[in-house]
Amino acid sequence: MVGDLTIRDVTREVTLDAEFLGLDGTGLQGEPRIGFSGRARVRRSDFGVGGAPEGGKVVVGDVVDVEVDLEAALEDRNPA
């Protein structure tokens, strides 16, 4: 999946390596649910974030792995 990621008013296109986890037709409340998992690797410096504070040490590296787990349910727009 490809989309835009914005950090501190800087927007870059990011590719999310997504995996379809499945469809549950009955869900917790009887509604259909779908699941995905995804991963992306971004460089903080691409968004103007990073570097050491003046006189400080770098605590977080430039490359950050982002992981997303998503579960979505179909909303019943016509409840009985």
Full-model pTM: 0.66
Q: Strands, E, within the chain: which ranges?
A: 2-7, 10-15, 17-24, 33-43, 63-73
For the chain, domains (ranges, CATH) are: 2-73 (2.40.128.110)
Supply the pLDDT for residue 76. Answer: 67
14-56, pLDDT tens digit by residue? 999 999 999 888 766 778 889 999 999 999 999 988 776 666 7
Per-residue pLDDT band at 59 (split at 50, 70, 90): confident
> Residue 10 above 80 pLDDT?
yes
Query: Which tokens sit at 24?
Result: 């549950």
Amino acid occupying residue 38: G
